[in-house]
């Protein structure tokens, strides 16, 4: 049983809970707990769900191609492979926005632009923006 489910099913006062459960309770915050069957027993609210942990993988250029490296691996991956990963969340840009494409277009500082013309790029009305990171849900 995972630690979140253990906290939802808890029947012990804080001091009698395992150290792991106490630490997780402190991390989550008391505001997410309700009183259990007894006044000194805290139970994690049934609707509580952990926010996903997110890995940010920097996009780098190597040998003329864009790549990223997963933190758990030294192997580099071609940028086009990111979307095939089951834990893929999106591409992060320098302004912090996340999009489903590694390229976006800005028209006079207004983003997003999903399409443009070569003429708009040539005359400077459109700026091509490139993602800085690939985001993945952290695997447990």
Q: What is the pLDDT of residues 54-109, one digit of tens each?
A: 999 999 998 899 999 987 777 889 999 999 988 899 999 998 889 889 998 888 76
Number of Cβ within 10 Å of residue 87's Cβ equals 13
Query: Which residues make beta-bridge pairs with 42?
Result: 35
**Whole-number Å distance between alpha carbons of 69 and 77:** 6
**Whole-number Å distance between alpha carbons of 15 and 41:** 10
**Whole-number Å distance between alpha carbons of 2 and 19:** 14
Give the pLDDT band of residue 135 (cuts 50, 70, 90): very high
pLDDT of amino acid 140: 54
The verdict on pTM exceeding 0.75 is no
Sequence-ordered list of residues with C-beta below 8 angstroms from that of 43, at least 6 positions apart, any chain: 7, 8, 9, 10, 33, 34, 35, 36
């Amino acid at each position: 049983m995972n630690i979140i489910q253990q906290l939802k099913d808890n029947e012990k006062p804080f001091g009698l809970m395992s150290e792991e459960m106490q630490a997780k309770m402190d991390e989550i915050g008391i505001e997410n707990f309700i009183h259990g069957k007894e006044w000194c027993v805290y139970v994690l609210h049934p609707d509580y769900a952990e926010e996903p942990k997110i890995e940010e993988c920097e996009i780098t250029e190597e040998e003329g191609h864009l790549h990223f490296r997963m933190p758990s691996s030294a192997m580099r991956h071609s940028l086009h492979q990111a979307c095939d990963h089951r834990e893929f969340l999106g591409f992060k840009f320098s302004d912090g926005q996340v999009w489903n494409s590694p390229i976006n277009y800005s028209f006079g500082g207004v983003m997003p632009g999903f399409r443009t013309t070569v003429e708009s790029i040539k005359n400077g009305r459109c700026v091509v923006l490139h993602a800085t990171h690939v985001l993945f849900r952290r695997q447990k």
